[in-house]
Amino acid sequence: MYDESLLIARIAQQTGFIVDYAEDSTIDTLDPMSVTTPRVYIGHIGIKPQHANDTAINMYNGLENPSILYTTIQFVCERSSLVSTRTAIAEAYAGFTPFVNDSDFSSLFFVEGNMIVKTGTKVWWQEVVGLVFPRIS
């Protein structure tokens, strides 16, 4: 794993957006209409083996099976700026690695993106990114 603050700092520096730690939120606790935009939230959500079936079939395969750390990048922005905001954030995390002195670790990669909430003027978007951790180097 790595400290979420590294990705928060990276996106804030590259985009100039307000970036903070993600919290468990619902539309009741985060009203997209009242949020100054764009506003970005970062939070790890879990770790899974890269090849889930390898470990289940043969535990020795699990020794060489890299793990992937999944992280959400959520943001609220004006509906009209969804494309430009998403592009700026994606460009900020593309190629980012929290382990600059260790070439055995990968950089962040896009997994999926989903709309969480939309109103007539604002959207709340979520992307999931991954980082592969080699098990044996």
Q: Which two tokens mark 16? A: 């100039």
Q: Supply the CATH number for residue 62's domain.
A: 3.30.2000.10
Of 88, 86, 71, nearest to 123 by C-alpha is 86
Largest CA distance in the chain: 53
Q: CA-CA distance, 98 to 78, in Å (whole number)?
A: 30
Q: How many CB atoms lie within 10 A of CB 49?
A: 16
* Structural domains of the chain, count: 1
What does the pLDDT look like over 69-125, one tens digit per residue? 999 999 999 999 999 999 999 999 998 988 877 656 688 999 999 999 888 888 999
Residue 54's domain spans which residues? Answer: 4-133
What pLDDT, in 10s, does the model give residues 85-94?
999 999 999 9
What predicted TM-score, i.e. pTM, was given to this entire model?
Answer: 0.82
